[in-house]
Amino acid sequence: MVQRHPFDFRKCFESLNNVLLELKVRYGTPRLDIDGFGFEALSSSLRKVGLFFGIEDRAQAIIDEETARWKPELDWYKERLKGKKVCLWPGGSKLWHWAHAIHAEMGVEVVSVYTKFGHQGDMEKGIARCEEGALAIDDPNELESIEAMEMLKPDIIFTGKRPGEVAKKLRVPYLNAHAYHNGPYKGYEGWVRFARDIYNGIYSPIHQLSFVDISKDEIPTETQFLTQKMISDVSLNEEVTSSKALREYTGKYDSISPLRSKTYPDFPAQKKLSVV
Amino acid sequence: MEDRMKDRIEQLVDYIMKHCLWQFHSRTWDREKQNEGILTKTMQILCEEPVEKETPADRCYWVDAICLADAFKARYSWLTTLDKAELKLLMQGLKDRMDYLTITGSLNEELNDSKY
């Protein structure tokens, strides 16, 4: 059946990479790389699919609508995440999916990338997408990652649950880069949800309390409870904090279920594809 | 002159590395085809020459080339100052550099895996 498909989407990367090679060698099926993480990557991917099928105008309409809907919310978080140091320590593919996109679109600095089970190609691509000076570690152990955290002093880490719990012991918050905290992170809305999770992780008032050692530190009793915004906005200028153009995430807790009842326009085929 | 050309090629390389995925297919033979197919078509688009896009494979290269040419034109205003001969020289230099970075100079040993 596969040789009958004129165009085939593959979501996962490394496990299906070999399938794509097989398709190309055995059936001559070409491959078009697309990427759903980040506004620019997603817009470019939609445009590419539109161009391939000769329906670029439809793709552009979606890009314009979604960007207008979600970009002001992404930029609200970008203003508050600028310059924050991130260790990007996921599995394999998110190394390169995210390294440049979070820097360019959320303003964070990726100070380190690592992967425990990524392929050589994942390291190659991840390093290519970092800025100069980022520390790349291949298959690190816990002592190496602890040393890296002590040296780099990241504001947050994107990693798995197990190394994430190690990070928390060093008072470094983490986001689950495998299952995601409040995903999905793909898509325009998803990318804003990712930015919101980073913001909530870095500026969590509860996390601030972890810096106080109740066994020896004096606990201030006159300090009032701070909200995330009170912590994040203290160093921002008024132009940003009072901006009417920017806003926090306005999506719902569940962004998936409404998609199941969404109705889509019907576009009858213009012509029968010759290979089907 | 040569330094300026090198600097311009590095700007284009930096864009491709950070924004594109097509240059990182997983085997040497695949990367050779990708670099050749997409960068040749990008050069043709920038030089306003006709581009083959009839077969699905050519259409895939063309799609990536359109996006790349548009991004180059939007980001690097100095491109408009180049004539056709200079553009072809620039794009050949870019192809040579990409071939080195992603194929001949790559440390990725999986590129030559015998299973494709």
The answer to whether residue A54 scores a pLDDT higher than 50 is yes
Dihedral over alpha carbons B42, B46, B52, B53 (to 10 degrees): 70
The answer to whether residue A245 scores a pLDDT higher than 80 is yes
Helix pair B84-99, B2-19: axis angle to 10 deg: 60
Q: Residue range A68-76: average pLDDT? A: 98
The residue type found at A28 is: G
Confidence at A34, pLDDT banded by 50, 70, 90: very high
Q: What is the pLDDT of residue A274?
A: 58
| Residue of A24, A40, A60, A96 for testing the chain B interface, max B β-carbons within 10 Å | A24
Q: What is the pLDDT of residue A7?
A: 58
Is the pLDDT higher at A184 or at A15? A184
Q: Residue range B26-37: average pLDDT? A: 96
Q: What are phi and psi of A238, to 5 degrees?
A: -65, -30
Average pLDDT, chain A: 91
A232 within domain boundaries: yes
Q: Decide the pairing of beta strands A109-115 and A174-176.
A: unpaired
Kindly give the residue spans of alpha helices, DSSP state H, lying in chain A. Answer: 14-22, 39-53, 56-81, 93-106, 120-128, 142-152, 161-169, 187-202, 205-209, 228-232, 238-241, 257-260
What is chain A's alpha carbon radius of gyration, rounded to the nearest angstrom?
22
Q: Which residue of A has its CA nearest to B109?
A: A120
A4 within domain boundaries: no
Q: What is the pLDDT of residue A1?
A: 45
Nearest Cα to Cα of residue B22 among B70, B57, B73, B74: B57
Q: Which residues contact A62 (CB under 8 A, 6 or more apart)?
A: A46
Is the pLDDT higher at A1 or at A76? A76
Q: What is the pLDDT of residue A276?
A: 46
Among A163-167, A226-230, B34-38, name the most confident range: B34-38
> 3-class DSSP state for residue A174?
strand
Strand partners, A143: none
Burial A113-143 (b: 16+ CB within 10 A, else e): bbbbebbebbbbbbbbbbeeebeebeebeee
| Cβ atoms of A81 and A202 closer than 8 Å | yes
A1 within domain boundaries: no
Is the pLDDT higher at A134 or at A262? A134
Strand partners, A137: A114
The answer to whether residue A224 scores a pLDDT higher than 90 is no
- In chain B, the N- to C-terminal Cα span, in Å, equals 41
Average pLDDT, chain B: 96
CB atoms A47 and B67 under 8 Å? yes
Q: Residue range A265-273: average pLDDT? A: 74
Q: What percent of chain A shows pLDDT beyond 90?
A: 73
In chain B, where the domains are located: 2-112
Q: What is the pLDDT of residue A11?
A: 59
Domains: count for chain A: 1
Q: What is the pLDDT of residue B8?
A: 98
In A103-248, which ranges are E strands? 109-115, 135-138, 156-159, 174-176
Give CA–CA dist A133/A137, Å, rounded: 13
Indicate which CATH number applies to the domain containing A93: 3.40.50.1980
- Residues of chain B positioned with their CB less than 8 A from the CB of A100: 18-19
A260 within domain boundaries: no
Q: What is the pLDDT of residue A136?
A: 96
Is the pLDDT higher at B20 or at A270? B20
Q: What is the pLDDT of residue A5?
A: 57
| Cβ atoms of A100 and B19 closer than 8 Å | yes
Q: What percent of chain B shows pLDDT beyond 90?
A: 95
- Residues of chain B positioned with their CB less than 8 A from the CB of A6: 56
Q: Residue A206 sits in which domain range?
A: 40-53+59-254
Give CA–CA dist A98/A109, Å, rounded: 11
Q: What is the pLDDT of residue A192?
A: 98
- Residues of chain B positioned with their CB less than 8 A from the CB of A128: 17-18, 24
A22 within domain boundaries: no
Neighbouring C-beta atoms of residue A79, cutoff 10 Å? 18
Decide if A121 touches B, using CB distance below 8 A.
Answer: yes
The answer to whether residue A101 scores a pLDDT higher than 90 is yes
Q: What is the pLDDT of residue A9?
A: 58
Q: What is the pLDDT of residue A272?
A: 63
Nearest Cα to Cα of residue A45 among A57, A55, A36, A56: A36
Lowest average pLDDT, out of A41-45, A128-132, A259-263, goes to A259-263
